[in-house]
Amino acid sequence: MCEATFKFTPPPEAPVFRPTLKEFEDPLLYLDKIRPIGIKTGICKIIPPKGWNPPFAVDVNSFRFTPRIQRLYELEAHSRLKLDFIGKLYQFFRLQGMEKLKIPNIGGKYLDIYWLQKHVINAGGYAKVNSAKLWPQMAERLGYPGGKFAMAMKTNYEKLLLKYELMITAHSTSGESGKRPADPGSVKSVPTKRTRLHAQEDDTKIDYTASKELKNLQFFGAGPKTVVPIGEIAVPAKAKQENSGEYLCRVCDMGNNEAFLLICSTSSCQACYHTYCLTPPLAGVPHYQWKCPECVRTICSRPMDSFGFPQSSKSYTLYEFGIRADAFKAKYFRREPSSVPCSEVEQEFWRILQEYTEDVVVEYGADVHASDQGSGFPTEIQLARAPHLFTSAEQRRQALVYAQSPWNLNNLPIYGKSTSEPNRPPPPP
């Protein structure tokens, strides 16, 4: 568990109702009475009159279920968006020949590159933010002192996000503008070796379980190569200017300078581009399976995977699950589970939901059907099947009373008419 600087403000307590013995006789009349308040708050708590105390009627050694696996940060909507964004950014870097990227630690915390990108795009993009000198505002929106961290925001945006922004905001380069790039013969001349990449399909599906870094949304390794302006790209001075006719650049429609002519490695595409015709231009010929801007844009624009939590591979009895839960709690909070107050657990839960750099995985019970397992209240079927749960005749008699009570959650949904049914008559005054 990380030391939390996160401050959690708990929401207001839900309304609590304490019906009298008379009010408690008919649950539907009472629920109708408190319904106007419950509709406004969405949740409420009903405490039964003193003495109404049904037994817990579940055999913890035979109640068996298969939990689901849940990454806590995925519960929060923005965290799922961050996960999708980081996954696409990771894919973008991978398509640039780099397997990993590093999320920098600035001012003692990881830079939230998702929100940095969002704020810059919402402000008009990199060019607008840069020309208007809005980097201090970008820093302040991320919780940093603007004057002190403005340059860090700019530097890391250029290093990690600028090429991605240009990719997602660019229009198709096919036939765009009709304007030819700078004459390659006018730039600095150095010898170079001809390199042509062969077409080969890549597996471009993001596997979020393939690495711990991707699961944690923390990636380590070198960042992208620095973008070099077109005027600094080295091109042979004596390069042939004639069109070879076999491979034509999609931008300038020329086949000259074949040493700088790249072929998309997607077999169904194989589009050609000069390194200096790309936006932004490449400083040199890449040594990886290069894909053209359109293929990269298509891959990185794929919709995110459907949201959901997988089933665990192991089933538990309720007793076994309780032992596992206590062991997890003791290890996580580093003390006896019974000594951890609910307020601390609640604060830690909400802190994790805000932190996409932490990977806390838990198991939880879901889809445990009440018709199979009941709801914790005794039932008449259960009294017949598991008489050992109630050892004395008095216990069995009391259990039968609660099994037949309309407040028993196994009975309440089918007791009389549901409060959710339309045209229900109002309660008597």
Higher pLDDT among residues 210 and 311, named by residue: 311
The model's pTM is: 0.50
Question: What does the pLDDT read at residue 21?
Answer: 94
What band does 176 get if pLDDT is binned at 50, 70 and 90? Answer: very low
Q: Report pLDDT for 203.
A: 45
pLDDT at 353: 76
Look over the chain and give the mean of its residue pLDDT values, rounded to a whole number. Answer: 77
pLDDT at 241 over 60: no
Cα 285 to the center of its chain, rounded Å:
35
pLDDT of residue 357: 64
Which residues lie closer than 8 Å to 133 by C-beta, 6 or more apart?
none
Question: What is the tens place of the pLDDT at every residue in 145-175?
Answer: 888 899 999 999 999 999 888 887 765 443 4
The residues with which 364 forms a beta bridge, in sequence order, are 68
Per-residue pLDDT, averaged over 104-120, amounts to 89
The answer, yes or no, to whether residue 86 has pLDDT greater than 70, is: yes
Give tens-digit pLDDT for 27-39.
999 999 999 999 9
- Give the pLDDT confidence of 313-359 residue by residue, as tens digits: 899 999 999 999 999 999 999 999 999 999 999 999 888 876 666 77
pLDDT of 428 strictly over 50: no
pLDDT at position 79 is 65
Q: So what's the pLDDT on residue 240?
A: 42
Q: For residue 281, what pLDDT is reported?
A: 86
More confident residue, 216 or 1: 1
**pLDDT tens figures, 362-376:** 898 877 776 666 678
Higher pLDDT, 232 or 272: 272
β-bridge pairing 64-65 and 316-317: antiparallel
pLDDT of residue 210: 45
Reply yes or no on whether the pLDDT at 427 is more than 70: no
pLDDT at 308 over 70: no
Whether the per-residue pLDDT at 243 is higher than 80: the answer is: no
For the chain, what are the domain ranges? 77-300
pLDDT at 216 over 50: no
The Cα–Cα gap between 312 and 363 comes to 8
Query: Does 264 score more than 70 pLDDT?
Result: yes
**What's the pLDDT score for residue 124?**
92
CATH classification of 77-300, choosing from 3.60.9.10, 3.10.310.30, 1.10.150.60, 1.10.30.50? 1.10.150.60
Distance, CA of 327 to chain centre? 27
The per-residue pLDDT for 188 is: 37
What is the per-residue pLDDT for 5? 62
Tell me: pLDDT of 305 over 80. no
